[in-house]
Structure 1
Amino acid sequence: MKKAFLALVIVLAAGGGYWAGRGSRAPSVLDGSGEGAIVVSFGGEALRTSEVEARVRAMPEMARARLATPEARKRFVEDLARERILARRAEEKGYQRDPEFARRYAQELGSFYLEKELDEPERRKAPEDGELRKYFEEHQAELSRPERIRIALVEFKVPDPAARQKKLALARQTLSEARAGSKDYYAFGRLARARSEDERTRASSGEVGYASREDLEGGYGPELAKAAFDLKIPGELGGAVVESASALYLVKLVGREAAYEPRFEIVRDALAARLANERREADRKRFLDDLWKQANVRIDEDPLGKLELASKR
């Protein structure tokens, strides 16, 4: 009887020591406050249904779909328990005070603060229709697109009058060859690769990507832009050598793209996303600037300049 009583005292003392140790432990962010039935218990702790469900909701849709079977769910809660056990052991070692961990913790916590205090409320404030229409009117010009054409060209550079006279004859001869091969789709491209002095387009058989009249004027001059836009049918070859201040051109129309004027109903959703993003960025800057002022940040340039930043060999 005495032996049984002594054994009971030892068990109670051990249990009391364990719970006393747990009770004296400093508060931790790992201390859960879940609700519902206990799903898994370990080392005097437990994860309840609300905590497990919260972790599931945070998972991507495809990952959640993989939890359909009882075996998969069991592995999932085992992983959660293993994660918590390892984290508790890390706390016992004091690893949460490691400088590298503190740095990563500060980064994550700062991002989490911005997400909760700024980004989440902003996402709930969808732009209203009137605001979107005003934004559309203000940005309609940049949303529009002028008529564009795609051309191929052969260029001869003429830096002086003597070169112009000499190369004009070569340009006219090349134009005659282009006309003779007009039924061969690739003939103009071969001439461009062989004779064009425009390094930007020679490798692409003389082709220039879709460009507006303004683009061509800026890149090659108003003479070429006018001659190119005067061509109407894809495949049509310019009837004469085009002369500009510094070059001679042969030009062929490859494709034409009509001007685009956006309709509000078509671009509404894209505008809503763009406006929301711009507003969020502006609010974020304002939010961070206010925090910076409230923190009264001061930088001492003297110790800053004496920091040991380079590694010593």
Structure 2
Amino acid sequence: MSPALRLSTLAVLAFSVLALVGCERSPAPGQARVDLRHTRAPGGTPVVSWAGDRVTAEELRQRLEEMSPAQRERYQTLERKREYVEGLARYELLVQEALARGLQDDPEVVAATKRALVSRLMRARLDDALPPVSEAQLADAYARHREDYVRPEQVRLSHLFLAAPRSDAARVAPARETAGKLLAEARALPPTDFAAFGRLARAHSEEPRTQPLDGDLRYRSLEELARDFGPELAEAARLLVPTGPGTLSGVVQTDTGLHVLQLTGHQPALNQTLEDVRTALSGRLAQEQRARAWTEWLSELEQRAALAVDAAALARVHVDLNAPVRPASGPAPGTLPAPFPSVQVTPP
């Protein structure tokens, strides 16, 4: 099969027409007249012709230059070039036949045409119109989100705490005995069964902020742990890191009481400069810019067209769950394309 015959049928779908040649009167809203002929560009030397149209040497040269050198190698002989232009012509004859049969009004063709038009509109409105991300925008975004790129080492712990101030020896001794028993229970659990350790903490911990959270301390730096719970706990956490999540500490004494710790997560220190994250950050800002511009422009289009939803009429539309499924007549509701689906932008 020649390369021309392998061309995507989207070329037909994307430019379906109501007539081959437009007339003077403008089409009504929702209708279109598109000239699909090669002769819409005047001049040139025809290399293949058929009723009402032709391909010129100039167009053929352009098509060949769009190919890679390896592909062009195939068309060095007259026979191969003839095969190619005849393929182009046969493709156009199929387009004419489709139009003669009125297939431009087929729901599938109309739906594909709409998708192609909206896709091209998006490129024209966003890719071609929006300025690139500036250095000032990059620097500002890096400063606002610096904690995403520069942060100290962090650990996540769950702890079981027994209140026994270091200065109160009468309370420390029995609390240490209890802590030892609870530590033995914890060591009997599967190392990565964090939920099991959490149930133990919820049942026995005496730290009111974390007990309802199954003892979870969330991610904190070692400095934060030392500040909030004491340097002994921070040092115990540092020693747990090399053996990985699930590791248990011994009984750790701090000024306020006794802790049994389990390491549940670890994040190494991060120190990325603006240059380190330039490409990713620029892409992220470009996505946000595209999404914001698209949302704002859609809002303008809605206002210009006086878009209105009749809630009363909409409420009367019955959704029959038992009706048989009909063949699809177009794209499903809610298929409006987004510049980047992962970016959420609040409409203005």
TM-score, scaled relative to structure 2 = 0.54
Change (3 A) 1:25 1:168: closer
Runs of 5+ in structure 1 lacking a partner? 1-23, 159-163, 176-190, 202-210
Q: Which runs of 5+ in 2 are unaligned?
A: 1-18, 23-33, 163-175, 198-217, 325-348
Q: CA deviation at 1:68?
A: 3.3
Q: 1:260 to 1:78 in 2, by over 3 A?
A: farther
Residues 75 and 81, structure 2, Cα contact 8 Å, conserved in 1:
yes
After superposition, where does 1:130-169 map in structure 2 within 5 Å?
130-148=136-154, 168-169=180-181
Q: Secondary structure at the match of 2:151?
A: coil
2:271 is matched with which residue?
261
1:251-278 deviation digits (Å, cap 9, x = unpaired): 5799873x22322222223322222221
Q: 5 Å matches for 1:131-280?
A: 131-148=137-154, 168-169=180-181, 171-172=183-184, 193=190, 198-199=194-195, 212-213=219-220, 226=234, 228-231=236-239, 234-235=242-243, 240-241=250-251, 249=260, 251=262, 257=268, 259-280=269-290
Q: Distance in 1 between matches of 2:275 and 2:110?
A: 49
* Counterpart among 90, 95, 98 of residue 87 in structure 1: 95
Q: Secondary structure at the match of 2:55?
A: strand
How far is 1:281 from its partner?
A: 1.4
- Residue of structure 1 equivalent to 2:206: none
Deviations 1:84-111 (A, max 9, x none): 2211101001111223322322222122
* Aligned Cα root-mean-square deviation (Å): 4.9
2:277 maps to a residue whose letter is V
Identity, % of aligned positions: 23
Cα distance, 1:143–1:250 mapped onto 2, change above 3 Å:
closer
Q: Verify the 8 A CA contact 1:144 1:260 in the aligned structure 2.
A: yes
Moved more, 24-33 or 268-277: 24-33
Task: Specify the alignment match of 1:283 in structure 2.
Answer: 293
Q: CA deviation at 1:232?
A: 7.9
Q: How many residues get paired?
A: 251
Q: Give me the whole-angstrom Cα distance separating, in 2, the residues matched to 1:249 and 1:140.
A: 34
Q: Is the 8 A contact 2:189 2:196 kept in 1?
A: no
- State the one-letter code of the partner of 1:140: R
State the Cα distance separating 1:148 from its structure 2 match.
3.5
- For residues 269-309 of structure 1, give each alpha carbon's deviation from its aligned partner in whole angstroms, at most 9, with x where no partner exists: 33222222211211111111111110111222343334455
Q: Classify 1:101/1:168 alpha carbon distance in 2 versus 1 (closer, same or farther; 3 Å).
A: same
Report which of the two structures shows the higher radius of gyration computed on alpha carbons.
Answer: 1
Higher helix share: 1
Match for residue 21 of structure 1?
none
Is residue 298 of structure 1 aligned with residue 308 of structure 2? yes
